[in-house]
Structure formats: C-alpha cells, structure tokens
A and B are shown apart, each in its own frame.
Chain A
Amino acid sequence: MQRDYTNEILELIRRTSSSLPKDVEERLRASIEKEEPGSAARGALETILKNVELARANSTPICQDTGTPIFYVHYPEGMSTRKLREQIRAAMAEATKRSYMRPNAVDAIYDKNTGNNLGGDDFPYIHFEEVDADQPLVIELMLKGGGCENVGRQYSLPDNSLGAGRDLAGVRKVVLDAVQKAQGQGCAPGILGVSIGGDRGSSYIKSKEVLFSEIGARNPDPKIAELEERLTKEANELGIGPMGFGGKTTVLDTKITGMHRLPASYFVSVSYMCWAYRRRKMTVKGEEVKYD
C-alpha cells in the first residue's frame, strides 16, 4: 500500500504560501540598502519585508493572490501517480478551506469560481517525473501570481522593431524590452525566468521551470551565466524600482535556459516572477519528511 501524503502536501502548501524562501528574503533585504532613505522605493521594500515576517508568524498567505499552483513531482519508479494526483488535489482543497490558498480556479468559459482551487485536469498544474526506485519522493511547489504572469512575454525572433536577431545579443534585447514593458506591474522587484528555443508551449513551460532554482544559482554554461548577470544589472539600470515607484531595485535575479528549436522558429519566453517568489520543496525518505 502506498502511503497517503495528503497531510504532508497540505503542510507543503501552507509553507509555500506563508513563508518566503530565505534566499529571496535575503536578496530583498540586501536591496533596501541600495535605495534612498525616505524614498517610496525604500518604503515599499520595508513594507514588503514586514509583510513577509507577519505572514510567516501567522501562517497567512504572503500575498492574497495565492497564484497558480505548479507542482513538480519526482516520484520513485513504481509509485502510483494517479494516487499522488488525488492526494495533491485533496490537499489543495483543504488548504483552500483553511485559507492558506484563495479560491483561484475560475472556469474561463462560464466565469464561475470553483471555490476550492480545483478546476479540470490542469488546475492545479501537476508535472510528474519518474526517478529510480531507491530515490526519495520529491514534491516541488511554486505559486505563480497572476499579476506577474500577465506581464510575461514571448518573442519570435528576429524581432525587427527591437533589432533583435537569432542569437544571444537578440535574446538580451527582447528580455530588456520585456522588463521595460512590465514596469512595476508584475510587483517588482521581479525574478526573470527565460527560455530560449522550443515551441510556444514548451518554451513557456521551461521559462517557469528555471524558477525552481535558488537565487544566485547560475547556468553551468559560462556564456549563459554571464548573460544572466548582465541582464539583472542592465534591467536595474532602467530605474523602474519596487512597484514601479522608481529606484534601483527592479530585478533580483535572472535565470536562463536553452532548448532545442525547429530551424524555422526561435522563441524567447520571459516569465516574470514577482517578489512574492513562493517556492518550496518536500523530500520523503522512508518515514522522514523534510521541507525546504
């Protein structure tokens, strides 16, 4: 009999929604010092950090938009994904009842909120990945806010209006354009997930997948790592600032990944993650469940 993980997943959801990961909090804290004392930018960052502490202490959502729940499940060979899916869905409904999650699943055709964060087969979004039988079960969860999702962009290169060709120089141009167009609307300071290649669908999915890695984790390819650093630096020169109040902190980090593409296509997808960068992981090894 496969163990029932519903309660453990519920705890994963609670932690994800109410407790911002340390690496994100530290990066936000470091940004305060860069903003002028008394500025709206600094005030915004200070309020954000007070909010982070309050949410953690009270187990309440960091942001009222508890976002699209995106689960990545790495399950050992032989485990039933059908059961895991049921347990994730049961945990999601319970988390909604307990106000860890806001009811966020709205039928797009009939405009009706299901009230429990369960809608069709795709809400919550669950991706399964099989690992060896002796490996632990790992469930990762990201909550992706709607405001920042709306400022995400996809470009088909070449983009003549930006003078962006099919190379890294072109990628740099369109990513900076995406940040400029987003202004503060994605709840800046944001984190950029960028994917190069793929088709329209796979490209967007990858641009979210890279956001599961920690702040400061660089792409192993030095060429891409350099572009990641450069984009963060240049995006901050735009002066958009927290909430678009103006200031030095617009983007906290950039993560880029490459895919294969058809010779005919060259997509660049930019997923913008707001400062409420909620992602957590649970690892099950035998009886032990570890959260980080």
Chain B
Amino acid sequence: MREIPIPISDEVIRSLHAGDPVLLSGVMMTGRDAVHKWMHDTFIKKTRQPQGNDLRVYEEIKKILDHGVLYHCGPVVSGLDTKEYKFVAAGPTTSIREEPYQADVMRHFNIKGVIGKGGMGAKTLQGCVDTPGVYFHAIGGAAAFLAQTVQKVLGVYKLEEFGVPEAMWVIEVKNFPVVVTMDAHGVSQHSTLDERSRKVLDELLAQPY
C-alpha cells in the first residue's frame, strides 16, 4: 500500500485518485463541529469577534494545517487529570456535518487532506479541486485500531471550551489506513456509488411484492 508522509505536497495530492488506499504518517489535527463553526465564524466569515485565546490558537493551528491534514474525529482520551494524554479510541466521525464549512476551511488553511467518514458533498469536492486537496475515508468505528496508530499526543487546543470530543488534538500518527474517496480531479466515489445504487433501487421498486 502506498505510504504518504504529512505534510503533503500538491504534487503528491494530484497523484492521488478516488479508490486509492493509502497509509498516512506524520502530524495531524482533529476537528469537528465546534471547531469548524469556530474557524468559519471567527476567521473566515468574521461574523464573530475573536475572544479569549482565539488569536493565539489561530496562529498556532495555521502552522499545523498548512499542507497538513484535518481529521474529523472525537476521540476518547485517557490521562485527562495528569495531562499525560493518550488516545484510547480514535475513529472518524460523520463528515457531512461540516459540508457548509469544509471547502472554505480547506482553502483558508491550505489543508491537503481531510479525513472522515461517509464522504462529503459538491461544495467540498470543489474545495478539493481548488486547494488542491483530497478527502480520505477512514474505517468508521475502528476506533481502538486507529488509536493504536497514534504514536503521541503533541498537544490540545480549546479543551476547556469545546470538551474532549470537540477539542483540537494535535497527534502524531504512523501508518494510519485510509481510502481516497474524493480527489483533486473532481472525482467522488460517493457520487458514483450513490448513482449506481439508485439505479438498482429503481429496479427493485419496480418489482411486484
């Protein structure tokens, strides 16, 4: 299987195609609903004033996300009392909830890979083409297995404010297995399968009971 280190160059991104299974290694950051809304409202659409440590966190995550990877994941983390954090469970969460924000977030931070599950829509696909970037599909629910690929928790942002599952966890992973399902050439495996299954459905619905 092809191994890809993070950060990822545009060249590598363009060489990836929907359907390719790959193994990712390097530093990535988790982010889900609260993070996307916060990024979008505070720094992209600017409908909300930065508050508290927002600006400092923004400067730091910009460095992590440039040519980096954002993972839609709400982990289970142990060691919260001692701050010796360890990922206990770290599977992907449903990505489509970030559809309103994702393309803007990718372009704004120059994110090369978004990992999640379930795939995303037309707006994000356009974001993949523009940035350029790809959508990586992880194995939903394989949380214990994926947590094992997390070598180290390097830090966390907005833990107090967003809570454990919604905070931004910076992690170092090794051989994290994913499948490219949306590529920078505008191909989405999700739309292909959606159309194909819809045809089968129509045939089934036409059959008598």
Contacts and interface: CB of A to CB of B under 8 A. Distances in A.
B117 A61 contact: no
A64 B91 contact: yes
Given A63-B141, A185-B119, A274-B140, 17 more contacts: A40-B21, A51-B143, A51-B146, A60-B76, A60-B144, A64-B88, A65-B143, A146-B93, A150-B94, A180-B197, A180-B201, A183-B118, A239-B200, A240-B193, A243-B179, A246-B189, A275-B141
B26 interface: no
A64 B96 contact: no
A61 B143 contact: yes
Contact of B119 (A184, A238, A274): A184
A275 to B, nearest CB: 6
Contacts of B77: 99
Contacts of B205: 162-163, 173, 176-177
Contacts of A173: 205
Nearest to A112: B163
Q: Which among B145, B147, B166 has the greatest number of chain A C-beta atoms within 10 A?
A: B145
Interface stretch (A41-49, A71-79, A283-291): A41-49
A185 B88 contact: no
Contact of B141 (A106, A169, A274): A274
A275 B141 CA distance: 8
B89 interface: yes
Interface in A162-202: 162-163, 167-169, 172-173, 176-177, 180, 183-185, 187
A239 B144 contact: no
A44 B76 contact: no
B177 A47 contact: yes
B142 interface: yes
Interface in A75-107: 99, 101-104, 106
Contact of A64 (B19, B76, B137, B193): B76
Interface residues of B, number: 50
A38 to B, nearest CB: 9
Interface in A250-292: 274-276
Interface in B13-29: 19, 21
B91 A65 contact: yes
Contact of A58 (B144, B164, B196): B144
Given A64-B75, A113-B165, A240-B197, A245 B137 contact: yes
A147 B119 CA distance: 12
A115 interface: yes
Contacts of A177: 201, 205
A214 interface: no
A265 B78 CA distance: 48
A237 B204 contact: yes
Contacts of A184: 117-119, 140, 190, 193
